[in-house]
Every structure is written in C-alpha cells, then in structure tokens.
Amino acid sequence: MNLHNQAFKKSAQLTPLADKLGRSCSLSDDDVEAFLALPHHFMTVEAGGYLIREGESAAHCCGMLSGFVYRHRMTRRGARQILAVHLRGDMVELNATLDYADHSVQALTRIELVHFAMSDIQELIEDHPAIGRAFHRETMVDVSVAREWIVNLGRRNARERIAHLFCELALRQEAAGLCVSPNFNWHMTQEQIADATGLTSVHVNRTVQRMRADGLISGGRSAVTVTDWPGLQAAGDFTSAYLHQA
C-alpha cells in the first residue's frame, strides 16, 4: 500500500459522505454534526493500490472522497471476478464487523478517502441510532446491488451484461455529481469490464464494438458518450429500482 497520510483537516471535506448517508434516511443536524466530528484521517492511494487484501483484517472503514475502487475475489484457477465498484460518497466497509476481509479492495484510479476506526463508528451509532439506521441502509443497498449483479451474470447475455453495467455506472456517477448526462467515464479497461461481467476481454471488445455500431455509445477508451440512453437501458434490461437512489 502506497499511502500518503495527511494531517487532520476540517471536517467540511466529509460532507459528500454525510450527504449520501442522509439522502435516504433522515438525519438531524445533531446527527450530522456528530458524524462530521468523528475522528478520521485522510489518505491517498494511487491507481492499482490495495485498500485491503483478501484474508487481512482491519478494524476500520473508508469513506470515498474521489476516484474509484473495486472489490474482487480470485478463483482457484486465478480468474478474477469484480464484485462491486465504489465511488465518491460511498462508505467502503473493509471488513466491518466481520473477522477478516473475504475479498480485496483495489483502487481503479487515484483515490482520496478518509479512514474511520470501527470502534469510533460503533460508539457514534450508540449515541445516534439514526446514523446506525443510515449505515444499515447503505449495507442493504449494497446487498441489493450485489443481487442485481447475480441476475446480470446468471441470466443475461454479453450485450445485456455490459449495457447493464454501463447504465449502473452512469446513474451512480451522475447521482454523485461526477458527470453531466451524456458524457461519462467508466475508468475501466475492457479487461476489467470483462472481469465485472464474467466474460473475456476479447468478447467484451467485440460486443462493445457492436454497441458502438448500433449507436448506443460512442467515444473510445474509458471516456464515453452515451448516444442513446433509452436504447442502452433497453439493451441492458436496466431498471434503476435496485439502486434505491433518492
């Protein structure tokens, strides 16, 4: 881990986290204030750096301020499966209340984040049950998203899987205020898209080409323009309900 620790800064930087926490559960001003007062420290991880590796244990929790991370596990034969992607505003439980991490978390891009000690968070929750509900809700949304990925991998073909992934990334980036509507950046190589969709990079390549030819998206590498949003949603059998935004 190439971490660059920084001194305490003013808690205003935590507002994206507090905003997302309070977006769906109602938090009082008092709750928010207590959250912002939580002991924390900032750090930066370069693209490719690990936040935690499978099997390690860490009694802390990360709040994403900028950049992208992804969770992944390996199979016996060395195949990698990406399990989730996280971006600004997401609380990334590293091992949370569990004994040790059952998967790795790695930086997709250069990221900025805050560390919280789990013990501090638990203390906070005891005094502010609404925050406990908000955290629990975020975890529930994580399960919901994971289950949509199960559907994606189990019952959709290559084009549907990729389109669905693109739709999810687009909506979540937009909700986090990272992009304006038709222009996005997945920050993923085709090989990583393959690892997220259970395909090979070769097949992802061919399928993405066909999607470009069909006018769904345009633009080369990771910077992409969605030229036909309804078409992309249809191609991905995508409905946003499972994200439980708003």
Q: At closest approach, how far in Å is the CB of 157 from DNA? A: 3
Taking CB under 7 A as the rule, does residue 2 contact DNA? no
Taking CB under 7 A as the rule, does residue 78 contact DNA? no
| Interaction pattern, residues 125-154, with its own copies; x per rule: CB under 8 A | xx--x--xx-xxx-xxxxxx-xxxxxx-xx
- Residues in 191-210 that interact with its own copies by CB under 8 A: 195, 197-198
Burial degree of 55 (CB within 10 A; 0-12, 13-18, 19+): exposed
Q: Which residues pair with 141 in a beta bridge?
A: none
Interhelix angle 129-155/15-24, rounded to 10 degrees, is: 80
Q: How crowded is the C-beta side of 17, counted as CA atoms within 13 Å?
A: 28
| Interaction pattern, residues 219-238, with its own copies; x per rule: CB under 8 A | ------------------x-
Residue 242 interacting entry, from DNA, its own copies, none, C-beta within 5 to 8 Å by type: its own copies
Taking CB under 7 A as the rule, does residue 159 contact DNA? yes
Q: Which residues pair with 81 in a beta bridge?
A: 73
Taking CB under 7 A as the rule, does residue 222 contact DNA? yes
Among 208, 216, 224, 232, binds DNA (CB under 7 A): 208
Burial degree of 109 (CB within 10 A; 0-12, 13-18, 19+): middle
